[in-house]
Amino acid sequence: MAFSTYGRHVTMDLRDVDFDKLNDVAFLKSVMVEAVNRCGATIVGENFIKFHPQGVTGVLVLSESHLSIHTYPEEGFAAIDCYTCGTTVDPELATDHMAEALGGRVAGYKALQRGTGEIVDLPKYRLAAVR
């Protein structure tokens, strides 16, 4: 069986997100698991860390790569990153779900095509549907 190195990498910054959402490990993990389910990926590992006095870093390791979040509740900020290899999993479905579940506003967004030579910017074709 041949495997493709083709992948898509989506990064998104959210601002004006509720403090309590960004500081709740259980909530963030449940949102991320649902995001992975929606995009069709497979979870193979996880690590979530709650910082004191506030903040969370979490990563779901996927057979296709990863979905991660790093939060600054005191700033209402979340940095989200989703990379998936192959053509059957769509990382934008995961980041769209994260934006919907967390609320706030999308302050930064970048989608890239990777693994085929040059890294290529992809259009924000789904972002308008989220906001």
Please indicate whether residue 4 is annotated as part of the active site: no
Number of H helices, E strands in the chain: 4, 7
Respond yes or no: is residue 85 known to be catalytic: yes
Active site residue 97: no
Instruction: Give dist(CA 15, CA 3) in Å, integer.
Output: 37
- Out of 9, 39, 66, 85, the active site residue is 85
Beta-strand relationship, 43-50 and 77-85: unpaired
Kindly name the residue from 65, 66, 68, 82 that is annotated as catalytic: 65
CA dist 83 → 37, 58, 74, 116 (Å): 14, 14, 27, 14
Active site residues: 65, 70, 85
